[in-house]
């Protein structure tokens, strides 16, 4: 099995047809059919179910599709890394950043890093944690900064495990619409907020996220909110809070700069939310990504791996 065979297979999987894949690859159909049959023979497993109109992937084919995409991404990054090593520190840095982490720790480090290394091009993915982990798993992202809880390691995705360094913690605050004109002199009991509509980022399957942390806090106060609207990120939540839809929790730092919301103290306050610098456990770490990750080391407050 070589990389060319993998590329051919991925083209067939994407097209759903050997004929269409051959057209996209600028090949004739018979050699591509032969290549797929040879690949199946070498591996000793059926990858494609041949249908009257096109093909579908068998379970083994679906596995090879996911693993093959990671393999091709790794090969591309390896080639780019070796070229960069020969030319000095230059190339691409791809970082995922959950909005609160972007505000807290990523933005300043990106600015200083690009100032020191102007030949590095940056791609920053501002997306929900699950999307970032998927892009770490498939080799697209180098690093990601997301909320984590160290006692519950992140679940593998497509057989890819992750390592995490806790690099900071976020003070949290309740936010309410400014239009409510909710002025209180004393912190609010958390139980008094159960009837409010809560707008919270969705849970990360297999690991505790901000929503789960808030659930635990409500449990200690006598019960969870009765109505929760899940959203992709805290930015979406804050926008809906500003529109008057309900309340949410986000980093105090981010809330202080978001228009249309007020910060309100609660009895007992909120636990601080750890931020983790996440990498693939056994993936390629480019010199650029390693150098960038070093910027977090001086303030690292803990480390764990699954």
CATH number of this structure's domain 3-71, picked from the four choices 1.10.3430.10, 1.10.10.10, 3.40.640.10, 3.40.605.10: 1.10.10.10
Residue with tokens 């700069």: 257
pTM of the model: 0.68
CATH topology agreement for domains 89-169+275-305 and 172-271: yes
| pLDDT greater at residue 31 or residue 150 | 31
Domain boundaries, the chain: 3-71, 89-169+275-305, 172-271
Buried b (16+ CB within 10 A) or exposed e, 283-303: bbebebbeebbebbeeeeeee
Residue 236: which residues within 8 A CB-CB, separation 6 or more? 199, 201
CATH number of this structure's domain 172-271, picked from the four choices 3.40.50.300, 3.30.60.50, 3.40.50.10330, 3.40.190.10: 3.40.190.10
Helix, coil or strand: residue 291: helix
Task: Give the other-Cβ count within 10 Å of 129's Cβ.
Answer: 27
Q: CA 302, CA 306: separation in Å to the nearest integer?
A: 14
Q: CA 9, CA 12: separation in Å to the nearest integer?
A: 5
246 neighbors 175 (Cβ within 8 angstroms): no
Query: Cα dihedral angle (228, 255, 105, 157), rounded to 10 degrees?
Result: 10
Q: What is the mean pLDDT of the chain?
A: 86
239 neighbors 233 (Cβ within 8 angstroms): no
128 neighbors 134 (Cβ within 8 angstroms): no
Q: What is the pLDDT of residues 21-56, one digit of tens each?
A: 998 988 888 989 999 999 999 999 999 999 888 899
Confidence of residue 241 (pLDDT cuts 50, 70, 90): very high
Residue with tokens 């978001």: 258
Helix, coil or strand: residue 262: strand
Q: CA 250, 255, 261 angle in degrees (round to 5)?
A: 105
Q: CA 223, CA 190: separation in Å to the nearest integer?
A: 9
Question: Once rounded to an integer, what is the mean pLDDT over residues 14-22?
Answer: 91
Q: What is the pLDDT of residues 186-195, one digit of tens each?
A: 899 988 888 8
> Topology of domain 89-169+275-305, per CATH?
D-Maltodextrin-Binding Protein; domain 2 (3.40.190)
Q: CA 189, CA 269: separation in Å to the nearest integer?
A: 10
pLDDT for 136: 92
């Amino acid at each position: 099995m070589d990389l060319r065979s993998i590329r051919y297979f991925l083209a067939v999987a994407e097209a759903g047809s050997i004929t269409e894949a051959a057209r996209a690859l600028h090949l004739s159909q018979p050699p591509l059919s032969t290549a797929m049959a040879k690949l199946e023979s070498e591996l000793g497993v059926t990858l494609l179910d041949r249908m009257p109109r096109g093909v579908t992937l068998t379970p083994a084919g679906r596995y090879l599709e996911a693993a093959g995409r990671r393999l091709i991404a790794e090969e591309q990054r390896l080639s780019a890394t070796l070229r960069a090593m020969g030319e000095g520190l230059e190339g691409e840095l791809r970082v995922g950043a959950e909005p609160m982490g972007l505000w807290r720790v990523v933005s300043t480090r990106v600015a200083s890093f690009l100032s020191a290394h102007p030949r590095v091009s940056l791609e920053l993915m501002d997306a929900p944690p699950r999307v970032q982990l998927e892009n770490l798993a498939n080799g697209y992202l180098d690093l990601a900064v997301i909320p984590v809880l160290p006692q519950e390691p992140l679940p593998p995705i497509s057989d890819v495990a992750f390592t995490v360094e806790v690099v900071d913690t976020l003070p949290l605050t309740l936010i309410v619409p400014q239009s409510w004109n909710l002025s209180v002199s004393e912190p609010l009991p958390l139980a008094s907020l159960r009837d409010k509509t809560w707008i919270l980022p969705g849970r990360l399957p297999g690991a505790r996220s901000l929503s789960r942390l808030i659930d635990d806090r409500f449990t200690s106060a006598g019960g969870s909110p009765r109505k929760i609207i899940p959203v992709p990120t805290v930015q979406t939540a804050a926008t809906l809070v500003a529109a008057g839809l309900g309340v949410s929790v986000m980093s105090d730092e981010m809330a202080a700069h978001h228009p249309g919301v007020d910060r309100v103290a609660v009895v007992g306050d909120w636990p601080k939310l750890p931020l983790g610098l996440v990498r693939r456990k056994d993936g390629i770490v480019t010199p650029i990504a390693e150098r960038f990750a070093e910027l977090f080391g001086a303030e690292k407050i803990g480390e764990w791996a699954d």
